[in-house]
Structure 1
């Protein structure tokens, strides 16, 4: 039996697991996918890669500022640009945002999750499907979404942390009929906006063409092309992803859809027309030929952004055994999802520690500094 099992290896789950493991708990994470980091995700392309979730970090926030500093010291992050833009719908032009450094991972933003996951025990390709009390703790029933029959189909722990989107947490908790009524009511109050991400790659011969553009208006695009669209019908954000890489082999742009666009098309099976429509929307603004990519991939984020988060950093109960829920649907910083996830994960670690009557918990900054260093 583990001391703690964490369901979900996104930023919140990894933060919680890291702090508890550093403080002496025996911890395991259960992750339904084959990777870590959640929405700090990177997609591999032929000879390339692109970030399909969180595009960059800012040195801003009670925990995020220190975390960015550690990641920069470890050369996981570097500066990308200090200039991003808004698209002004009324004036049909780009408006500079206040100068502020943006930090990216040259190897992809998934490097952040990989850093946090260093030396942690993670059970990949395992979806948590049932939850039942057992002697001294919880039994978590697991299935194998990728037909993996070589792993155990259950895991037990004295305490459980659920660090997945609220609708998925609700489905898991409801397998324990009649339990957790107050926690379920709180989780059901969390609402999310969906998003489609489009990755579009162009012929290598066009690399210099995109690098030449500097300015605004039709036919121009300022590097690195990081643009927010706060009032556009279809678009939320776009960026020149290849400008993050040390030696890009071809131009790659990433687009994020608006919540309204994503809700309209959320249940469609064929994602290719969705990607093409978003590229046409960008082409109508900038006239760069972005609607004719050499390669296009589309990803559906059903729970991309917490539109209505809870004010608490996490939720917990000890009836019958310690159980805590956390994630970026908690806390009061919805415009900074990574900061929110860090706070929520650290809060979940603290609450779990309290429920297990451990005397002390290592500060989260100390845990980050110790990653990869023999103890």
Structure 2
């Protein structure tokens, strides 16, 4: 396709910047609701509003992110995203010095800033990697970025808990701001990379619209299947997540410490999956791998439902296996799907396609939580998890389509 333009040392810096940035985000995502409840006395509605402020901007500003990524170089876009985070974290650090109302308002603004920054970074990285690296290097780069993100997601909450105890609330936000500033310094060493101008006929503005981005994700049979799989996975996952902890505490011997240990181990499985994605046998490095590990990820949730009804240690074993299988398979299949999408979508359409893909999947998140909450009132939480898990297993069969198995290897 094109010669690689980045030196390996810059690849390591990009991975390090990704880890530092996501680690700071993970710290804040843990700290904001915790502080809002424990210090400011927030009720469930306030926590829900903070959640909306975190994720809604990634849908609302999807088109703006597409336009920014297409207009400016990717280094500038990612730097702007990190600067937004630094500002949000610094403001959060001083928010509690005023009244609780001011604190809530600043936390909401910080979450909005995080959401906008997340969509900017996500779209910019999706565009940057295929432009900056040779085709054969794509799986390795996505693997390193996946490991960095998974490890940050796993370590951030643990560190946040320690930081809140050691540095108090304001100190924790200052630490997060320093981490985000460190990511800025790393990103400043990145070369400037621009999206090439489109040569096809048609108005340029159409390529920045959310409608165009969504259309690209359904342009071919393999893309339609993979986008549908992602939507089903996110919808089902969030439907189950809405009542999973309640069901586990009600029907198993797993306590808070055990649940935290299981979740931490699952995150490590995700990092392991991203690592193994570039070390698969050739037969599993393309479409067959996407089908196998995609089915494993979406089908793993049926194990959680079985574990809630199996007796004693056997039930706990099914639950642990479900968490581990989900994260391991997700870590692998994410690298494989990112590689396939990088090869299947043109440079000119990639920003809009990524924004549309993220917007669709993030819309499935609150829908899933609302659906789970509603089903939990009609059925028992454990029965809902089992039923949804079986339904996800059925959706997982779609990813075995021959078009995915063959197209993803080209």
After TM superposition, is the score higher than 0.5? no
Q: TM-score, normalised by structure 2?
A: 0.22
Q: Which has the higher contact order (CA 8 A, sep 6+)?
A: 2
More strand by share: 1
